[in-house]
Amino acid sequence: MTSTLDLGVHSLRAAYRGGTLTCRQVVEEVLARIAQAGDDKVWIARMPDEALRDIAAALDGRRAEIESLPLYGIPFAVKDNIDVAGLATTAACPGFAYTPDHSAVVVQSLIYAGAIVIGKTNLDQFATGLVGVRSPYGVPRNPFDAAYVPGGSSSGSAVSVSSGLVSFALGSDTAGSGRIPAGFNNIVGLKPTPGLVSTEGAVPACASLDCISVFALSCADANAVLDVVATPKITPAIGKSFRFGVPKPLEFFGDSAYAHLYAEAVEKLKAMGGTAVEFDYTAFRDAAQLLYNGPWVAERTAAVGAFLEEIHEGAGVWPETRQIILGGREYSAVDAFEGQYELAELKAAAAAQMAGLDFLALPTAGTIYTVGQLRQEPILYNSHLGHYTNFVNFFGLSALALPAGFRADGLPFGITLVASANTERALLAFGAKWQRAVSLPLGKTASTLPPAALDPVVVEDRVSIAVVGAHMSGLPLNGQLTALGGRLESAAVSAPIYRLYALPGGPPFRPGMVRTADGGGAVELEIWSLPSAAVGAFVSQIPAPLGIGTVVLGNGSTVLGFLCESHATVGAHDITGMGGWRAYLKSLA
């Protein structure tokens, strides 16, 4: 690196806000770092230097808009199977190249947010491979050891982030291309739920499975990008106590160092409050095999098979890529349907294994290979790298690759958290805690994690309910709340406009709170919250004359809460003066 400038998204935003940095300075720093990196095989095409300077100057003129531009002045790279207007899209095949008039939807969203496209990055041709060596543009240099593969297919994107050339990068992920390169480059790789981020403007590999992925140095940075390109659904957070899956059997292809690092990662997860639960990996492994040894290869043929069959000499087609993609011609429509039936069975079996788990904690890869080894066994070793990745999009899941340590020879190891659909925010929030717990370098850079206050936060879809009697903590009906995911948020009091009565009947004995025009008092409450999806089930358990209405709190705010029909209080004991149900129960002791 030419300076100590931290290109982390949040670090740059802090400097921009503080007036200590300009977009022009950042662009000049990026250009200097690219020049210093030399022929690292990261880039297939770059924006002209002067064009970048012009973009930076225009953004410097919009400094007053920084709060409305969440990625203001943030440099990023784009995998060269994703369109950027004015730059050729090659998918790492020179003969396939075309120059789009419009950027992919995801790229345009980032540009609108103020981010700066630096260029298009190298990849395994047609995004077919997990190794990063299947490209006529060369092998992007693994920043930890150039003798080893950078991982693919999003090789150049991962290396550009790990090497500190850009703040973040876009990749794609069909079978693990957004995770394997993250693991081999010591960075974060976010693979969203299929369909969450638009793939319009990306060259398809398997269109039904393709995802746009994000590479970043930190989970906080990846979250900032996700906020711009998608609207993640609201899901529960991963709690302080959690259950995570450990696959059985484990496979490390003879790599004892990776096996040891994985065992250490499991112990670290336990130390963070986790309970390790072994699960049968068979259904996941069998689904992974379908991708390259089943009819889904034909979807790759549908994407670019016609081009590969018509190519002329000098088009730059990689032999293994051609062999794999055109292999889809061997499958019939019957094979495709039978594959779907098999996948449905495997998906059901996998769901049963994941039941009760917050996430699976898998090795991102079971081992890493040298470039030379891949030349000797290009197909077999590539399939080894997909052992823990290929199934994820088949099952419609979310995944997050995280740095997890280093072998004695300095090569990084990573784990991947895999969870149900639309849990990106929960995974990123947990991943941020993981990064702070393991305290590893960020890529191959001197960057540091952003302040903890900027870590992702799960905004849950929960409904607050004020309870005044037997549903309070420790009392007989509290289990109705906790069984539905209820959580005690705070103690409170009502506004002094209610009367509280001990209702006849029981057990359980219950109070009734009624709003009154005069003579009321403040009543002790507890504010609980429930997942919104559970509110109906809770309300259905409430018998007349009680119900849920609007309760005014002592601070003037309102919340849903228990109220009683006034007719039921005729002849009931007025206990308003005691201040609440607990005090009344104490008076009976």
Question: What is the spatial distance between Cα 513 and Cα 544, in angstroms, rounded to a whole number?
Answer: 13
pLDDT attached to residue 1: 41
pLDDT attached to residue 313: 59
Task: Please identify which of the residues 153, 154, 155, 157 carries the catalytic annotation.
Answer: 153
Question: What is the spatial distance between Cα 497 and Cα 521, in angstroms, rounded to a whole number?
Answer: 6
Nearest to 574 by CA among 524, 503, 516: 503
Nearest to 531 by CA among 106, 285, 233, 93: 233
The two three-digit tokens of residue 296, written as one number: 């889904």
Q: What are the tens digits of pLDDT across the range 210-255?
A: 999 999 999 999 999 999 999 877 777 888 889 999 999 999 999 9
Question: What is the spatial distance between Cα 155 and Cα 128, in angstroms, rounded to a whole number?
Answer: 12
DSSP state of 464: E
The two three-digit tokens of residue 532, written as one number: 């919104």
Q: Is 248 a catalytic residue?
A: no
Task: Please identify which of the residues 41, 79, 120, 191 carries the catalytic annotation.
Answer: 79
Nearest-10 Cα torsion for 335, 341, 344, 349: -100
What lies within 8 Å, CB to CB, of 327 at 6+ separation is: 297, 301
| Pairing, β 511-515 against β 558-564 | unpaired
Nearest to 349 by CA among 284, 394, 294: 284
Nearest to 438 by CA among 269, 274, 277: 269
Question: What is the spatial distance between Cα 27 and Cα 58, in angstroms, rounded to a whole number?
Answer: 12
Cα–Cα separations (whole angstroms), residue 238 to 143, 244, 556, 564: 33, 10, 33, 36
The two three-digit tokens of residue 178, written as one number: 């957004």
pLDDT attached to residue 312: 61
Q: Please provide the distance, in angstroms rounded to a whole number, between the alpha carbons at the two ends of the chain.
A: 73
Per DSSP, the three-state class of 234 is coil
Per DSSP, the three-state class of 482 is helix
Task: With both helix axes pointing from N to C terminus, report the angle between 297-310 and 319-326 in degrees, rounded to the nearest 10.
Answer: 120
Distance of CA 296 to the CA centre of its chain: 25
Cα–Cα separations (whole angstroms), residue 450 to 6, 148, 456, 512: 10, 30, 11, 50
Nearest to 260 by CA among 145, 149, 413: 413
- Main-chain phi, psi angles of 358, to 5 degrees: -75, -35
- Main-chain phi, psi angles of 490, to 5 degrees: -170, 165
| Pairing, β 359-363 against β 558-564 | unpaired
Distance of CA 128 to the CA centre of its chain: 23
Nearest to 91 by CA among 369, 389, 284, 325: 325
Question: What is the spatial distance between Cα 61 and Cα 36, in angstroms, rounded to a whole number?
Answer: 29
Q: Is 177 a catalytic residue?
A: yes
Q: Where in the chain is the domain with CATH 3.10.490.10?
A: 462-588
DSSP state of 344: H
Angle (CA) 522-523-526 rounded to 5° is: 130
The two three-digit tokens of residue 368, written as one number: 């890493």
pLDDT attached to residue 508: 87
User: Could you say which architecture CATH assigns to the domain 462-588?
Assistant: Roll (3.10)
Q: Is 121 exposed, middle or buried (0-12, 13-18, 19+ CB in 10 A)?
A: buried
DSSP state of 370: B
Cα–Cα separations (whole angstroms), residue 453 to 164, 226, 227, 432, 491: 23, 18, 17, 11, 26
pTM above 0.75, yes or no: yes
Identify any residues that bridge with 332 across adjacent strands, giving them in sequence order. none
Question: What is the spatial distance between Cα 50 and Cα 70, in angstroms, rounded to a whole number?
Answer: 24
Per DSSP, the three-state class of 410 is coil
The two three-digit tokens of residue 307, written as one number: 């081009």
pLDDT attached to residue 290: 83
What lies within 8 Å, CB to CB, of 210 at 6+ separation is: 172, 173, 174, 194, 199, 202, 204, 393
- For the chain, which ranges sit under pLDDT 70? 1-2, 312-314
Per DSSP, the three-state class of 80 is coil
Q: Is 268 a catalytic residue?
A: no
**Which residue, chain included where needed, has tokens 């990573």?**
414
Q: Where in the chain is the domain with CATH 3.90.1300.10?
A: 9-454
| Pairing, β 359-363 against β 242-248 | parallel
Question: What is the spatial distance between Cα 144 and Cα 544, in angstroms, rounded to a whole number?
Answer: 68
Nearest to 529 by CA among 484, 461, 464: 464
Q: What is the DSSP string of 111-153?
A: HHTT-EEEEEE--SGGG--SSS---TT--PPPTT-TTB---SS
Given 3.20.20.140, 3.90.1300.10, 3.40.50.300, 1.25.40.10, which CATH number is that of 9-454?
Answer: 3.90.1300.10
The count of C-alpha atoms lying within 13 angstroms of the C-alpha of 146, restricted to the half-sphere facing its C-beta, is: 9
Cα dihedral across residues 71, 18, 457, 216: positive or negative: positive
Task: Please identify which of the residues 167, 177, 218, 529 carries the catalytic annotation.
Answer: 177
